[in-house]
Amino acid sequence: MQDAAGWERPTQTDTNRSKGTSPTPADTRTPPVTAVPDATVTTLRYCAMSEYTAAPDAAEDDRIHTIGDETEAVRRSAGTGESSVANRHWWDGNADEYQDEHGAFLGDARFVWCPEGLDEEQARLLGDPAALRGLNVLEIGAGAAQCSRWLADRGARPVALDLSHRQLQHSLRIDQDLIARGQRRAPVPLVQADATVLPFADAVFDLACSAYGAVPFAADTARIMREVHRVLRPGGRWVFSVTHPVRWAFPDEPGPEGLTAVSSYFDRTPYVEEDDQGRAVYVEHHRTLGDRVRELTAAGFRLVDLVEPEWPEGLTQVWGGWSPLRGQHLPGTAIFVCVRD
């Protein structure tokens, strides 16, 4: 099944999409952490704040509903709460299949920005890898924290934040395996939290990054930008990748049918998949390039680069709507490189 513009919309056994997740709604702000946790912090805790609590079972929470195999794709409004609840449970239910299918591409400790395979090792959008040592870095929508592991290997002090409990469990699985083989000394610190209400004190991170995490799935992305600005130190860099906004005008198909625009680029109506009772089980939100730039500047960021990775010669992998054919004609990814002034 195809989504509106993102990675191919996976079914329970087909998870061709990004590794990040959207935020879950919160009624009150989580108390801020007074310092960025170091590599010895117990995983799956809000650092010094409170014990991590797993999401309730569906039988124990009437807000949660079972996601069936049959859904209907529509374009309709979807607010913060509906989007967040739907996407959190969607990713919890599909994390296993996603990591199983795409784990080899993502690696255990690789920082890849997009399906085009742009690697931070070469792109250096976060700066010189040698300069990462000692920096506090927040990865938002981290999934199984592959990017954070790459950062840790270069001496940075990453914290991997994601909405999905199951995605973070995969990070634990990877770390436990690497530690057992003597390839790591400690797991990546993990936080399950809302990307629109980051549970950290002001100005505690030197860098923030996200590879297809959180931003595409959140209804209030302007608030994410403000929160990232708040937790970054002056001069800190915020780099994130999303589906290129122009893709929303085209069918998310890898073949020739994906080269003909069928809808308006300026239609910001969310893409929603509903169950047979009309409840959202998956949501993505669209912003134009202009919308995104205005969000960033309003939050206090300066846009220093906008990277549109070209499809590399020799890459034959088809990942949802990403394919060599479409990559020759249309950008698939937009990477925003910003600095906190």
For 284-335, what is each residue's pLDDT tens digit? 999 999 999 999 999 999 999 999 999 999 889 888 899 999 999 999 999 9
> What's the pLDDT at 320?
86
Q: Which residue's entry shows tokens 């998310």?
A: 252
How confident is the model at residue 177, as a pLDDT?
A: 95
pLDDT at 263 over 90: yes
Please give the backbone phi and psi of residue 45, each rounded to the nearest 5 degrees, phi first. Answer: -130, 155
Place of tokens 């996407």: 87
Give the whole-angstrom CA distance, residue 149 versus residue 156.
9
Q: What is the rounded distance in angstroms from the CA atom of residue 331 to the CA atom of residue 299?
A: 26
Does the pLDDT at position 22 exceed 60?
no
Query: Is pLDDT of 41 > 60?
Result: no
Instruction: Flag whether pLDDT at 257 surpasses 60.
Output: yes
Q: Which is more confident, 22 or 65?
A: 65
Which distant-in-sequence residues (6+ apart) come within 8 Å of 50 by Cβ? none
How many whole angstroms separate alpha carbon 143 and alpha carbon 284? Answer: 17
Q: What gap in Å lies between CA 328 and CA 341, rounded to an integer?
A: 36
Q: Hey, which residues does 274 pair with through a beta bridge?
A: 72, 280
State residue 69's pLDDT score: 59
Q: 20 pLDDT band (50/70/90 cuts)?
A: very low
Strands 232-243 and 157-162: unpaired
State percent of the chain over pLDDT 70: 80
The confidence score (pLDDT) of residue 39 equals: 33
Q: What are 140's two structure tokens?
A: 């938002």
pLDDT score of 33 more than 80 = no
pLDDT tops 90 at residue 44: no
Residue from 107, 127, 123 nearest 19 by CA: 107
- Assess whether pLDDT exceeds 90 at residue 29: no
pLDDT score at 40: 29
For 88-119, write each residue's pLDDT tens digit: 999 999 999 999 988 999 999 999 999 999 99
Pairing of strands 301-307, 205-211: unpaired
Q: What is the pLDDT of residue 319?
A: 81
Handedness of CA 126, 37, 81, 87 (dihedral sign): positive
For 306, the 3-state DSSP assignment is strand
* Average pLDDT score over residue span 218-230: 98
Distance of CA 219 to the CA centre of its chain: 14
Q: Strand 280-284 and strand 190-192: pairing?
A: unpaired
Torsion angle (degrees, nearest 10) of CA 278, 280, 284, 290: 70
Q: Answer with the residue of higher pLDDT: 28 or 311.
A: 311
DSSP 305: E
What confidence category does residue 67 fall into, taking pLDDT thresholds of 50, 70 and 90?
very low
Tokens 């590794």: give the residue: 19
* Res 226 pLDDT > 50: yes
pTM (predicted TM-score): 0.82
Q: Which residues contact 249 (CB under 8 A, 6 or more apart)?
A: 261, 262, 263, 264, 265
Which of 59, 19, 83 is closest to 273 using CA atoms? 83
Measuring CA to CA, which residue among 241, 229, 195 is closest to residue 22? 195
pLDDT band at 194 (very low <50, low <70, confident <90, very high): confident
